[in-house]
Amino acid sequence: MTDLFQSAGLEEAAPRPLADRLRPKTLDEVVGQDHLLTGTGPIARMRAQGRLASLILWGPPGVGKTTIARLLAEDSDLEFEPLSAVFSGVADLKKAFERARARRAAGRGTLLFVDEIHRFNRAQQDGFLPVVEEGTVTLVGATTENPSFELNAALLSRCQVLVLKRLDDAGLDQLIARAETEMGRTLPLDDGARTALRSMADGDGRYLLNLVEEAFTFDPATPFDAAALAQLLNKRATAYDKDREEHYNLISALHKSVRGSDPDAALYWFARMLEGGEDPLFLARRLVRMASEEIAIADPTALMIANEAARTYERLGSPEGELALAHAVVHLATAPKSNAVYVAYKRARRLAKETGSLMPPAHILNAPTRLMEQQGYGKGYEYDHDVEGGVSGQDYFPAEMNERPVLYEPKDRGREAAIRERLERWRALRNERRKG
């Protein structure tokens, strides 16, 4: 249906943003997604075979999800039916399905594109199942959220999930070159400012072109440097959502950097989370956890430093208190590592569940009454401080456990190395006593 402006040809003459003017006309023009669109990529294979499966396009903003869906419809000779889960409800879905059924009856297929598909609730997502199964529509959903968490398993089983990548520097440079060709002149930026411009875009092609369009409005006598550009253009906030996948991805990166003894990477991920607006107290609590899980007795000061860093932040607040947290990050990353206590704790919990309500051995029970003495409580107990070496070698596990389990196995690094030597001597003493 055309309106008055379209019929008069005025719509084409209306001003259009640079990002819209540079929207790819074919799939071959799409930048940064060669792993999907070329060679043996899944979309390339579908095009070669002349078939198109229902897809979920998962990726950050501004990497081409909508463009790819639109071009797939053209490439497959399907009617492009766009919906946004932000603005659409059940009534809109039903109307879209009815239009698709009418087209199918007339011999034409429909590509139903659903932007932000993760915003539909579970019941609404279930509504797609019959029309996808019967082939009424080829569904292409776009999402910035992890489909594993946000979409029904039933819907995922009927769609192929394709991951789109944030644009790298080469892809962003391609877009800048296209913009310069479109505008017929070179951006008024020196090399440092071009690097800064790519950094501002943070892998988002649409945002980059918006910045480029704004930069073209200036006509300086000499090209801008990075500092001048930063004053003219607003830098976007780092992509980070404190209650969604990016939150878990970055805390995982911080934790594994500490575990891998890489203080530089650990500081980087720590700073990324702070820049994204993460609560420093959340980071403080995780550092305490890392000290216990990854280091423990190999460096007993690690837990003390992590706790003190948390208390320091509580006392000073931001930004002064964050330095104490950075101190803890570096200490934990450079400390000797051992997960022996963590592993032993998990073994002990499993063993406690398996063995139920076994009583402690009688010789280590107190006997405050005569009856308990008659039952053998405390009989044969040796006071460890009174024996040579301070270790009696008695068995403290339940008598029903014939085999002594080994739960704690210290590493041979940090302070655990000395503990390991002592435990080997004490275990030998217990084994000798058991045999005797």
Q: Is 204 helix (H, G, I), strand (E, B) or coil?
A: coil
All residues at 6 or more sequence positions from 121 whose CB lies less than 8 Å from its CB, including other chains? none
Look at residues 197, 237, 190, 226 and name the one whose alpha carbon lies nearest to residue 214.
Answer: 197
**Helix orientation angle between 191-201 and 169-183, rounded to the nearest 10 degrees:** 110
Split the chain (436 residues) into runs of 10 and give each run's mean pLDDT: 49 75 93 94 93 93 94 94 89 92 93 93 90 93 89 92 93 94 91 90 90 87 86 64 69 94 94 88 95 94 96 92 96 95 94 88 86 86 88 87 88 90 89 76
Per-residue pLDDT, 5: 46
Beta bridge partners of 82: 113
Q: What's the confidence (pLDDT) of residue 218?
A: 85
Token pair belonging to 414: 């940090």
Q: Give the tokens for residue 400.
A: 């029903």
Q: What is the pLDDT of residue 413?
A: 87
Q: Are 208 and 63 in contact, with CB atoms under 8 Å apart?
A: no
The per-residue pLDDT for 354 is: 87
pLDDT, position 234:
65
CA 294 to chain centre: 20
Instruction: Extract the tokens encoding 221.
Output: 């006598």
Q: Give per-residue burial for 22-46: e unless 16+ CB within 10 Å, then b.
A: bbeeebeebbbbebbbeeeeebbeb
* Sheet with 110-115, edge to edge strand ranges: 79-84, 110-115, 138-143, 55-58, 160-163
Residue 31 DSSP SS3: coil
Return the residue matching tokens 């460096």.
Answer: 299
**Bridge partners (DSSP) listed for residue 142:** 57, 115
β-pairing verdict for 79-84 and 55-58? unpaired
**C-alpha to C-alpha distance for 369 and 417, rounded to whole angstroms:** 44
pLDDT recorded at residue 260: 93
Supply the DSSP symbol for 412.
S
DSSP character for 243? T
Tell me the three state secondary structure of residue 79. Answer: strand
CB 56 within 8 A of CB 141: yes
